[in-house]
Amino acid sequence: MPFFFGEYNYTLDAKGRVNIPATFRKADPRLEQSKNYIFFDEEDICLHVYTAHEFETNVVDYLKKLPTRNKDGRAYASIIGENVREVSLDKQGRITIPNNFLEKAKIKKDAKIIGAISRIEIWDPEVRKKYKDDLGGAQAKAKLEKKFLTQKESE
């Protein structure tokens, strides 16, 4: 299974396009070969980019299991659906981010692109810094590691 890792800084052009790092494109050729999906994460205030395969596996399959006769299930699927767009890489390895997604994610000119294993995250650098500070700064990784390793052991 291909995966993404690393942190990169890019500048958006006037048309709202940003490069997807070459290392990501090499790690998963499906980025260039098929459609991809960009999702605005309202909780973290960032954008997630998924290959079609990862989106279907991690998002669509989960949403299909929601109870459609339940108001909350329908509402959740609707909220996710309104925050997703299909995107493709151009010949220069860029995606065009819809203007309303740039506004929602508070991305103006600069973008921090992060490999998050099964997806790519696109952040405004200041929003990312605040996010990490809120997690606990330099100690965030250790705290989260302890939480999830403890959780795994108790399962």
What CATH number should be reported for the domain holding residue 85? 3.40.1550.20
For residue 132, being part of any structural domain is answered with: no
For residue 150, being part of any structural domain is answered with: no
Please count the structural domains in the chain. Answer: 1
For residue 19, being part of any structural domain is answered with: yes
For residue 154, being part of any structural domain is answered with: no
What does the pLDDT look like over 4-48, one tens digit per residue?
A: 999 999 999 999 999 999 999 999 988 888 799 999 988 889 999
Mean pLDDT estimate for the chain:
90
The continuous run of DSSP H or E covering 86 comes out as strand 84-87
What tokens does 40 get? 């605005």
For residue 138, being part of any structural domain is answered with: no
What is the extent of the structural domain holding 104?
A: 4-125
What does the pLDDT look like over 74-92, one tens digit per residue?
A: 898 899 999 999 999 999 9
User: At a CB cut-off of 8 Å and minimum separation 6, what does 138 contact?
Assistant: none
Give the span between the Cα atoms of 144 and 139, in whole angstroms: 9
Flag whether pLDDT at 155 surpasses 60. no
pLDDT of residue 110: 98
For residue 77, being part of any structural domain is answered with: yes
pLDDT of residue 13: 97
For residue 74, being part of any structural domain is answered with: yes
For residue 99, being part of any structural domain is answered with: yes
Q: Which of 55-59, 90-94, 103-107, 149-153 has the lowest mean pLDDT?
A: 149-153
**What is the value of pTM for the model shown?**
0.87
The model's confidence at residue 150, banded by pLDDT at 50, 70 and 90, is confident
